[in-house]
Amino acid sequence: MSVETATASSALLESLGIEAENSGVFAGRWLDSSGPAITSIEPASGAPVASVRTAGPEDFEEVVRVSVEAFEAWRTWPAPKRGEIVRLLADELRRNKDSLGRLVTVEMGKVVSEGLGEVQEMIDMADLAVGMSRQLYGLSMHSERPQHRMYEQWHPLGPVGIITAFNFPVAVWAWNAMVAAVCGDSMIWKPSEKTPLTALAVTHIAAKVLADAGAPPIFNLAIGNRHQVGEPMTADPRIPLVSATGSVSMGRAVGQAMAKRLGRSLLELGGNNGLIAMDDADLDLTLRGVLFAAVGTAGQRCTSLRRLFLQKGIAAEMKARLLKAYPSISIGDPLDEGTVMGPLVDQGAIDDMMAALDKVRDQGGTVLYGGKVLQDRSGYFVEPTLVEASAHMPITCDETFAPILYIFEFETLEEVIEMHNSVPQGLSSAIFTMNMRSAERFLSASGSDCGIANVNIGTSGAEIGGAFGGEKETGGGREAGSDSWKIYMRRQTCTLNYGEELPLAQGVEFDI
Ligand code: UN1
């Protein structure tokens, strides 16, 4: 890391209320947290940025207590008034967009345009949620009984646990938090321990908005590992919903713990996203779509492109284009505007990538480009990597959070849809074609089995207006737009008799 970058980060931290040592627990106020300290490391340099004290057992209990109390007050606020608080939060995020976006880049390593994009995603979520606050609609039904009225209404649910991953350290909180807030819930956020500082910065901003507006402390924070925070959260019946984004193994643990106590879970887990390029595809568009999806965020999105399927007629041409484009990808300081690919998040991510590439070689795959760690600098930089693969390689069924792109060839659309759907994950998918029949076949009920299916757009970079999530091992949850808000509320079906008789449903007679 250059000296300039180091200086920039300390100014940044100060502007966002972060000190060299910080409490990692907020329960309406910053607690003097008693758990061990963790250090946030800048992936671009490997250098420590600041330290955060994690949650001790009493700290977590205090967060839950305050969140329950805040919920009891907040749920009585009319939803549009709750929306007004979220609108104020959006204003504050707009004011802090530049510094918060840069902090995302410093702490997580994504390039600055993506760091800023992530804060924009928070703002978009807030704006959407403000509108939602006036549209939490229930249906009304025609009762089968005379002089009866029947309808459903949606009530706030309770304190919600939000577990987020390092790769979208702030946007995924916003997907949940903005919606949960207008729905009348309070929240306990467990961010990744790899990105505690962005969580502190967001919590500072959100807490100020609440305090200035006289709203209850609904945005709370508990930084710690799964023993300190994750397990107590999923075991606690005062928390009716836990929304978790991260690995399949983490999601399995959360899902099982929640199911055991019949609580709700919302899971957004691993992806193994495929892009099908047909012979009739616009190859310029395809190349751009592939590059952003495979190399953007250094392959560390759950929506990153991992499997590229090329139809035989264009396979040689597309591979040649990729082999020409990959060496020109500028890898370096993610704060530098010219950089396209920043570092991986830490040494563990490099080890995972190298282990996956060892398996590629063992399983008969060929590395066409890249595959190496950049040893000429500090930080966790690797080369984006192209692999000639076959459907028989088990490694291609795994999600490796790194810029490895497996390339396959195919002959027919029917064959490739089957190949595409043959992995355990089901998050995002894409087809590039100019043929309407191929596009519609891919989107049909027997086409892509993923939660997201795109035509002539890569697998990553979804807009917040749609419901986000996927099937199979991706966990089945949906966050962000559309009617995803429903999971943050409880549905009540109400039947009201305004007559003088008591007729029973289904024509049942019960005269005594
Ligand atoms: C994630 O990687 O967990 O669609 C979320 C996208 C982003 C969100 C990714 N809007 O790529």
Q: Is pLDDT at 9 greater than 90 in this prediction?
A: no
293 CA distance to ligand 1 middle (Å): 10
Best mutation site among 119, 302, 304, 454 for ligand 1 pocket (most ligand atoms within 8 Å of CB): 302
Distance 185 CA to ligand 1 centre (A): 24
pLDDT computed for residue 8 by the predictor: 60
Taking residues 39-61, what's their average pLDDT?
97
Give distance in angstroms: CA of 303 to centre of ligand 1: 6
- pLDDT tens-digit series, residues 151-178: 999 999 999 999 999 999 999 999 999 9
Bridge partners for 50 per DSSP: 40
CATH class label, 3-269+475-492: alpha beta
Q: Give the model confidence (pLDDT) of 416-453 as tens digits.
A: 999 999 999 999 999 999 999 999 999 999 999 999 99
Fold (topology level) of 273-463 = Aldehyde Dehydrogenase; Chain A, domain 2 (3.40.309)
pLDDT of residue 466 exceeding 90: yes
Distance in angstroms (rounded) separating the CA atoms of residues 439 and 295: 25
> What is the model's pLDDT at position 174?
98
Q: What is the pLDDT of residues 243-275, one digit of tens each?
A: 999 999 999 999 999 999 999 999 999 999 999
Q: pLDDT by residue (tens digit) across 121-155? A: 999 999 999 999 999 999 999 999 999 999 999 99
Residue of the nearest CA to atom 3 in ligand 1? 302
DSSP characters for 178-230? HHHHHHT--EEEE--TT-HHHHHHHHHHHHHHHHHHT----EEEE---IIIII
pLDDT for 325 beyond 80: yes
Query: Which pLDDT score, from 0 to 100, does residue 4 have?
Result: 46
How many angstroms does the Cα of residue 248 sit away from the middle of ligand 1?
Answer: 16
Point out the ligand 1 atom lying closest to the alpha carbon of residue 167.
2
Could you identify the atom of ligand 1 that is nearest to the CA of residue 165? 3
Residue 399's pLDDT is 97
Domain ranges of the chain: 3-269+475-492, 273-463
Atom of ligand 1 nearest to the CA of 268: 3
| Closest atom of ligand 1 to CA, residue 463 | 10
Ligand 1 geometric centre to CA of 301 (Å)? 6
Q: Give the containing element (helix H, strand E) for 443.
A: helix 436-443
Ligand 1 mutation pick, 460, 463, 474, max ligand atoms within 8 A of CB: 460
pTM: 0.97
Residue 373 · residue 382 · CB < 8 Å: yes
Q: Which of 194, 295, 301, 464 to mutate to test the pocket of ligand 1 (most atoms within 8 A of CB)?
A: 301
Q: Which ligand 1 atom is the nearest neighbour of the CA of 121?
A: 10
Distance 312 CA to ligand 1 centre (A): 30
Q: Which amino acid is at 366?
A: T
Which residues make Cβ contacts (< 8 Å) with residue 204, sequence separation at least 6?
Answer: 16, 17, 18
- Mean model confidence pLDDT for the chain: 97
What residues form DSSP beta bridges with 81?
Answer: none
Q: Which two tokens stand for residue 495?
A: 């039947």
- Ligand 1 atom showing the smallest separation from residue 304 Cα: 11
User: How far does residue 462's CA lie from ligand 1's centre (Å)?
Assistant: 7
Residue-wise pLDDT for 362-408, tens only, equals 999 999 999 999 999 999 999 999 999 998 999 999 999 999 999 99
- According to DSSP, residue 373 is labeled B
Q: Residues with Cβ within 6 A of ligand 1?
A: 167-168, 172, 245, 301-303, 460-462
Distance separating alpha carbons of residues 89 and 325, to the nearest angstrom:
41
Q: Output the residue whose Cα is nearest ligand 1's atom 6.
A: 461
- Please choose from 122, 168, 305, 452 the residue to mutate so as to test ligand 1's pocket, defined by most ligand atoms within 8 A of CB: 168
- pLDDT at position 2: 45
Residue closest by Cα to atom 7 of ligand 1: 461
Which residue type, as a one-letter code, is found at position 444?
Answer: S
Q: Report the pLDDT value the prediction gives residue 25, as an integer from 0 to 100.
A: 98
Structure token pair of residue 476:
């089945």
Q: Residues for the chain: how many in total?
A: 512
Active site positions, annotated? 268, 302
| Of 425, 426, 418, 354, nearest in space to 385 by CA | 354
pLDDT exceeds 90 at position 1: no
| Contact (Cβ atoms closer than 8 angstroms) between residue 296 and residue 329 | no
Residues of the chain above pLDDT 70, percent? 98
Greatest alpha-carbon pair distance for the chain in Å reads 90
Q: What is the pLDDT of residue 420?
A: 98
pLDDT digits (tens, 9 = 90+) for 274-295: 999 999 999 999 999 999 999 9
Q: pLDDT tens for residues 342-356?
A: 999 999 999 999 999
